[in-house]
Structure formats: structure tokens, C-alpha cells
Chains A and B, each alone.
Chain A
Amino acid sequence: MPRGLGRSVPMSETATATLAPAMTRSLPLDVEALYRACADDLYAYARSVVRDPAVAEEVVATVFERALQRRRRFDPGRGSPRAWIFGIARHAAIDELRRRGRGAVLDHDPVDEATPDPAEALADREQDRERREAVAAAIRALPGRDRELVALKFHAGLSHAEIGEVLGISATNAGSRLHRVIVHLREACRVAV
């Protein structure tokens, strides 16, 4: 079930509704629990950035390893655990892109047929379908940094401050950029409608 549909939605399909205390701002950090709670969100983010599913899978695996190795370096005073692990994910994605020498650009984003998109079941109107396709196309056309903004906000559910920590910018700057992306996507919606 996608986010923001009028019910309490877990952060990921494999997580409980709220993080355990060890994953909040107290130490020691339970990396395994944090990872399990964020794994799907991490994949969604990684996939949004690198596009290639195999590369995204590699990124997620790397995130777990690095988070496990660096768990003692987590400083709750500098940010939330989720921002911390998504920061690791960003660097892992960059490293993977650098290692492969180029962005993994797909001609199309294959549909995950193993797990039917629940939204499709609700989209009973052609208009909704066209609008949704327009939004998807607009997202695909976004520059990489804007796509990761969308992933961090809509898929991972990070706050503006947490997004700023991940991207290394201020919360204000993150909000400003997110606003621009929303305006762009809204325009895409409007055009489609």
C-alpha cells in the first residue's frame, strides 16, 4: 500500500510501524533492526537514483555492510538513524555509479510483475492512469538529484531536515528544492489532465 492513503502505513513492508528504541537517537545503534526497517525504502531510493535494479540491489547490500562496520561512528547528536543510513546509501550509490563509470540508464523501468501494483487496482479511470503515467514519466525525466529528492521524501518518508543531512545541504535548501520538484510534477499532472 503506498504512503499517505489515510491509514497508518509502515515505513516498509518488512518493518513494524515504529522504530525500536535502539534505532532512535539512543545508543548503541541496532543496525540490523534499522536495516530491516528501512530495506525496502533503501531499495526504492537506490533504484530511483541508479535506475538499474541489479545496481540498486548491490547498493542496498553495500549499505548494510557499511552500516554494520560504522555503527560505532553513529552520533545521535548529528542526526537521526534513518538520515544516517540513507546518507550511507547515497555514498554507496555514488560509489557504484563511479565504479561503473556511467549512470545505469534504462530504456524503460520494468514493471514488477511479481508484486502487483496495488495502485493499479484503484486506478479505475483512464484519466487517473494517464495522469499517473505522466507523473512517472516526469519523475523519470527528472535530473538524478531531483529524483533522489522524490525518493527520500515520498518513498523513504524523511523530513526536510533529514533530507538535508543526507544530501549535505540545509533543511531550507532541501525544502526549496523539493518545492520546485513538486511544482514540476504538478505541472506534469495538470498537462496530463
Chain B
Amino acid sequence: MLRSESRLDPEVVAELERLDAVLAGDREADPLLALLAEDVAATRPRLDADARVRLEARTDAVRVRVARPRKAVWRGRFERPSWRLGLALAAVAAVAVPVAGGLALDQSRDETASVVNQSLDERNPSQQAAGPDASATEALPSSGGSSGAAQQLQSRRTSERRVVRDVRQTLRVARGEVAGATARIATIVGDAGGYLASSEVRERGASAGGTFEVVVPSAQLDATVARLSRVGSLVRLERSSRDVTDQAASLDDRLKDVRADRAALRLQLARTVDPQRRAARRRELRVLSSRVARLEGEQRSLRQQTDTTRIGLRLTTSSAAGAGPSEVDDGGWGLGQAWHDAGRVLGVVAGGLLVGAAVVVPVALVALGAVLLRRRRRRAAGDRLIDGA
């Protein structure tokens, strides 16, 4: 009852109190009221004997019917479609929530997961067929533009891809092993025919570790990565590649064309007698020569990018700052990671519940309002029915 409690008139209160006293047996409280109470009591409907017997029989039957075993009651409930639907939905939710949580966890793991000894699918087929040195620089065809040379170039394009590769690697070592790991890295790089482009090592302190920029021949990339992975515990390995075959082929074609133009211009210069025309030819020749030089420079740079690969190597110690569970993953699964995983799943579930609540709460409020309104209407309808009886 939500109505505000208004106060009754004191006279009304007094009369009601007298009525209660009269009904309790105190006639002296209000003799007239007592008389009224007697008159009203005289109108009290009473159960006759037959009706009493009938009621007794019905109550016996009800007693037997209601006293079914609880198991039968629950079985009956479970047979209802609404219960079955509710149980089915609960079962689906019980499966869906952990699966969704696991998927979310796997996705976050993939972003920082370690991959040990990735497959060699990135290696182009020609390299695999020709051997480790297949990516070595090959001589470009001379200018001349014969159809045979063009076909040769075309076949080379399709068989030998030029790929710029980039590798990022993170290894975890014990705090006292940084120096030893650094020495092993230098040895491995040297054995592969590469070099350390840059290095920064911190052998002591909370942030002990190191960062290295390693350059190795692309043919030695996989072997070098595998050997480096064994220097410590591999935490992260990221590979990226960019195919620049078309870019190299385009560069080669442009260089060939410019060289051909320069060769033709040289012949023209040799045949020109007029001094002014010779000067003009020389000027054109200088322009073409500078273009050739520029294109040859681009070609050398691209060749160097594809012939060698840079490896960004990071050494981290087990207690290094920032090396949280998301970074330090050696493939094992211990109690700490279990807690972490459980926390992630709970986080996903909590997020789902929050989103669900944001949807359900307004709907529930509307439904509650509808229920209250319906209840009020039913009460009013019941009052009308009683008034009409």
C-alpha cells in the first residue's frame, strides 16, 4: 500500500475504538454501538450441516491432490514448456559465456603470443627450390631490349620474388645472463655473415637487458632467428614482409630504358659535327647520366633491402619493468596465468552483464510499471465486481 497515511478525525477514531471495545465484549463502551453489533451479528450467514459435510469432502479431496510428492510436483513443472525453455536458455548461457570468454582471451593472446619456430611459408618457392643463396643479387640484363632478354626478365620476375623482411624478436634471460647472451648474439650474427647495426646493453639494474639491431643475409634469416631464439626464452616473435618484386622490376625497366637512351645519345654525339649540336647532345647526355646514376642508386638500395634482413632483437630479464603476463609468455600455463585468464574471463562476463543490465534495467522498469498498472486495474475491476454483486 503506497498511499499516504492520512489521519482520521478524532471522533472517528474514538468511535472505531468504541466499536473494537464493543466487539471485544465491553457493552458499556457504547450501548448503541453494542446494539448495532448485535443486530449485525444476527445477519451473519451460517454454514448448515449439509454444506459443512460437502466442504469437508472437498477439503479432503484437495488435501490429497495438493499433497503430491515434491518430485512429482517438480516433474510436473519441468514438463511445462516455459520451464523447459528457461532451462534451455540457461544451458545455452552456461556454454556461451565461457566460450565467449575463451575466444576473447585467445584474441588478446594472439596479439602478444609467442610463436616458436614459425613455419617457413613466407619463403618464396624459388628460394626454397634454389637454395639459401637464391636471393643473392643477380646481374641485370644489358641494355639492348632484345625480345629474348625481355622474356628472360619476365621469367625472372615470376620465379624470383623480391621481399623485404622485418623481424622483431624478444627474448627473456636471467638478470645475470645479459652479458653472456650479448656475446652469444654477436657470435650468431657473425656466423651468419651479418653484423650488429646497433646495440644497447644494460647488464645490471632493474631494467637489465638490451636492444640490438641485427642485419643478416636474407638467406640466413630463418637459421639466425632459430639460433637467436635459443639464447633465452622466446617471448615474442613478429615477422613482416613486403613484396617489392614489381617495384624492382619497374626500376629495372626504367634503368634499362634510360641506359638505352644514353647509349643512343652517345652514338648521336659521335656522329654530330656541328659544335652547337654537340654541346646540346652533351647536355642531354649529362641529364641522362644523372638519371642512370639515381636509378642505379635506388636499385642498389632495394637490392640491399632484399638481400639482407634487419632483426630487431630485445633482451629482457624476468623482473624487468613492464614485462607483465601479457608479454612474458613462455608457452607454459601456471597458477599465475590461470588467475590472469580467470580474471579476463570474469572481466568479459562482467562487461557482458553490464551491457545486459543497461538493456534489461529499463525494460524491467517498464515491465514493472506495466505490472503495477495491471495490478491496480485488476483491483479496480475486482472492486466493481464486488460492488455489482
Contacts and interface: CB of A to CB of B under 8 A. Distances in A.
Contact of A103 (B7, B15, B38, B385): B385
B25 A144 contact: no
Contacts of B59: 35, 61, 64
A160 B368 CA distance: 29
A90 B386 CA distance: 9
Interface residues of B, number: 53
B56 to A, nearest CB: 9
A17 interface: no
Contacts of B385: 94, 97-98, 103, 144
A97 B386 contact: yes
Interface in B1-46: 1, 3, 5-8, 12-13, 15-16, 19-20, 22-25, 27, 32-46
A53 B48 CA distance: 10
A43 B47 contact: yes
A175 B386 contact: no
B48 A115 contact: yes
Nearest to A146: B387
A104 B388 CA distance: 9
Interface residues of A, number: 77
Contacts of A32: 63
Contact of B16 (A43, A103, A175): A175
Interface in B265-320: none
B16 A178 contact: yes
B91 interface: no
B54 interface: yes
Interface in B57-72: 58-59, 62-63, 65-66
A80 interface: no
A121 B302 CA distance: 126
A34 interface: no
B66 to A, nearest CB: 5
7 contacts: A2-B38, A49-B386, A104-B389, A109-B45, A144-B388, A169-B1, A182-B36
Given A5-B27, A44-B46, 13 more contacts: A2-B38, A4-B38, A5-B38, A91-B382, A135-B40, A136-B43, A154-B44, A172-B6, A172-B7, A178-B19, A179-B12, A182-B33, A186-B36
